[in-house]
Structure 1
Amino acid sequence: MAVLAVLALVIFGDKLPQVAGQAGRMLRQFRQMANSAKADLQAGLGPEFKDFDINDLNPKTFVRKHLLEDDDTPVNHKSGIFDDEPSYATASANQLDPGERPPFDNEAT
């Protein structure tokens, strides 16, 4: 940091305060433009997305929020199913008999 400060003094000399002021104003304008664009996007999406946060589009935030955070739904770790599912929902209920064809959904293809 000290090297950068000395380099800035050498390059800009007595104009350093003016350059720093311009950089601060430019940064403030960029921040205002970003906030305005975010507000316009939220207004354009409508009331359904009032809790939408632009940071949720960041892949790291998305993974952390949707995959790594704990859910409030209790899980039965022995069977691997949610405790609020019906008792007939077991892993063996979805297994096919030998030679049996899997179900086919015309609308899914």
Structure 2
Amino acid sequence: MELVALMILAVPLFGPDKLPELIQNVTGFLRKVRELSDSAKQDIRSELGPEFQDFEFEDLHPKRFVHKHVLGSDGLGLEELRDALDPRKELTQIADAVREAADISTENVPAAPGVDLAKDVAPAKRVTLTKEGAATSERPLFDPETT
């Protein structure tokens, strides 16, 4: 989109006659800059020695440097470290062992028929000490209207 906008602006500025010559000059300039850059890279690689033949200047950017040397496949191996510290595998093994033990322990226990799990709600008996002795009453231990 930007290239189209530049072309639309270049036609009225330089005219249709000078536009092809201008494009040739710009592409020639870009080609020479690229050749100069490639020759500088080759000179630096030859000066550094044979172990730096795969050296790229883009790798000097901090983000790329960290990605290549720390996070990359030839880096420190953080994937292996992360997998080694991941507790999910061990937790799965422990959970399976607990399930197995629970299955074994429930096989030998007969089921209790008719067990009622409902709570019996009986009013609590309150013991009051008097001079005559202990007296019990059927009042609840708390007042439900005040709580």
TM-score band w.r.t. shorter chain: 0.5 to 0.7
The residue aligned with 1:10 is: 12
Which structure 2 residues correspond to residues 1-109 of structure 1 after superposition, within 5 A?
Answer: 1-13=3-15, 14-70=17-73, 71=77, 74-75=80-81, 76-77=84-85
Q: C-alpha separation between the residues in 2 aligned to 1:39 and 1:58?
A: 19
Identity %: 41
Q: CA deviation at 1:73?
A: 7.9
Gaps of 5+ in 1: 79-109
Q: What TM-score, normalized by structure 2, do the two folds share?
A: 0.47
CA deviations 1:42-67 (Å, max 9, x no partner) are 00111232232222111121121123
Q: Which has the larger radius of gyration?
A: 2
Going from structure 1 to structure 2, the CA distance change for 1:5 and 1:57 (only over 3 Å counts) comes to same
Aligned residues: 79
Query: Relative contact order: is structure 1 or structure 2 higher (C-alpha 8 Å, sep ≥ 6)?
Result: 1
CA RMSD of aligned residues (A): 2.4
Gaps of 5+ in 2: 87-147
Going from structure 1 to structure 2, the CA distance change for 1:47 and 1:18 (only over 3 Å counts) comes to same
